[in-house]
């Protein structure tokens, strides 16, 4: 039995064997600390009935651990150089499918239908590449996938934004989207030394547990997120100003915007960062007939 992939020695051995060189442009920082893997796996609450979608398996450090604990793993890797490595290194596991695709472009529903017909709970797990972290999280949230939980390793600065509350510097449209669909929790901080090569910043593991129902009722989800993004477009500007300049045709709808703000009980000179998710929902519902 080989040693676990997540150790400096075995990772180096695999990299040397395949002559693999890291691509910074793909956010390739591989985990070499088995304790962190244990924490990710424990936080995801995986058991042998679960199906797991992994984003970005790298050389398989996390994939290996997920395969040992779950029924089935389907792992999306964009870098073609890693496909033969993964197939070789994880060859002993009959419950792993390696999918050579850009996760952002992949049809995840189709993969779920093909790979997980008889799995119990479905999870998405990944040590996310930092250059597309928020786009990946947004894809997982907005595609209405039959997933119970997500556990992600992200840069600490992004992790802080996911669970941020109003009136804090980290609070923004990403916080609102994540908290609309899930309950976010920070699992653990991860030092730079847990990766090869070492990134410039510390990381954090977060668990996002899907809500059964959103915490607020909105007339149209896409429109709700358009409004929240508009209100944070220029953080120093008032909501009124942002809405007028960011919403399509907003400059000609000053009166209607003002009316919707007052109806929602929101002073037009407040800034986006002071609004709760309930206030954003009231505002978006009031603006929907104006712009929707």
Task: Estimate the crossing angle of helix 173-181 against helix 277-291, to 10 degrees.
Answer: 100
Total of residues contacting ligand SAM (CB under 6 A): 22
Summarize the chain as % helix, strand, coil (round to 5): 45, 20, 35
Nearest to 209 by CA among 13, 28, 44: 44
Could you tell me if 26 and 129 are in contact, meaning their C-beta atoms sit under 8 angstroms apart?
yes
Backbone torsions φ then ψ of 14, nearest 5 degrees: -65, -45
Which of 28-36, 154-162, 232-240, 260-268 is the region at the interface with ligand SAM (rule: CB under 6 A)? Answer: 28-36
Q: Which residues are annotated as a binding site for S-adenosyl-L-methionine?
A: 29, 31, 56, 77, 102, 127
**57 vs 172 by CB, closer to ligand SAM:** 57
CB of 139 to ligand SAM, least distance (A): 10
Which of 74-82, 139-147, 163-171, 217-225 is the region at the interface with ligand SAM (rule: CB under 6 A)? Answer: 74-82
Q: Is 180 near ligand SAM (CB under 6 A)?
A: no
Which tokens sit at 128?
């996310």
Which of 29-37, 114-122, 177-185, 236-244 is the region at the interface with ligand SAM (rule: CB under 6 A)? Answer: 29-37
**11 vs 285 by CB, closer to ligand SAM:** 11
Give the one residue of 29, 182, 226, 230 binding ligand SAM; rule: CB under 6 A: 29
Cα separation values, 254 from 232, 244, 261, 270, Å? 18, 7, 11, 16
Give the one residue of 20, 28, 242, 257 binding ligand SAM; rule: CB under 6 A: 28
Nearest to 88 by CA among 182, 202, 176, 5: 5
Could you tell me if 33 and 54 are in contact, meaning their C-beta atoms sit under 8 angstroms apart?
no
**Cα–Cα distance between 268 and 6 in angstroms, integer?**
52
Give the one residue of 33, 64, 77, 279 binding ligand SAM; rule: CB under 6 A: 77
**157 vs 256 by CB, closer to ligand SAM:** 157
Q: Is 40 near ligand SAM (CB under 6 A)?
A: no
Binding mask 95-124 for ligand SAM (x = CB under 6 A): -------xxx--------------------
Nearest to 232 by CA among 275, 262, 286: 275
Q: Which residues bind ligand SAM (CB under 6 A)?
A: 26-31, 55-58, 61-62, 76-79, 102-104, 127, 129, 132
């Amino acid at each position: 039995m080989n040693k676990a992939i997540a150790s400096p020695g075995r990772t180096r051995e695999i990299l040397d064997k395949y002559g693999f060189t890291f691509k910074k442009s793909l956010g390739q920082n591989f985990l070499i600390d088995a304790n962190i893997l244990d924490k990710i796996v424990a936080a995801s609450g995986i058991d042998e009935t679960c199906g797991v979608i992994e984003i970005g398996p790298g050389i398989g450090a996390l994939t290996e651990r997920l395969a040992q604990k779950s029924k089935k793993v389907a792992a999306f890797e964009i870098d073609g150089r890693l496909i033969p490595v993964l197939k070789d290194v994880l060859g002993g596991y009959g419950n792993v499918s390696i999918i050579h695709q850009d996760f952002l472009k992949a049809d995840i529903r189709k993969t779920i239908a093909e790979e997980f017909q008889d799995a119990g709970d479905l999870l998405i797990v990944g040590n996310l590449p930092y250059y597309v972290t928020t786009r990946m999280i947004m894809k997982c949230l907005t595609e209405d996938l039959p997933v119970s939980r997500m556990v992600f390793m992200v840069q600490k600065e992004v992790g802080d934004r996911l669970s941020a509350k109003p009136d804090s510097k980290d609070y923004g449209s990403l916080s609102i989207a994540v908290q609309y669909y899930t309950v976010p929790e920070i699992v653990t901080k991860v030092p730079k030394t847990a990766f090869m090569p070492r990134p410039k910043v510390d990381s954090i593991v977060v668990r996002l547990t899907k809500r059964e129902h959103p915490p607020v009722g909105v007339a149209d989800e896409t429109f709700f997120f358009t409004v929240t993004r508009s209100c944070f477009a220029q953080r120093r500007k008032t909501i009124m100003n942002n809405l007028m300049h960011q919403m399509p045709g907003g400059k000609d709808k000053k009166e209607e915007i003002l009316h919707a703000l007052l109806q929602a009980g929101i002073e037009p000179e407040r800034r986006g960062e002071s609004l709760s998710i309930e206030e954003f929902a009231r505002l978006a519902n009031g603006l929907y007939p104006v712009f929707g």
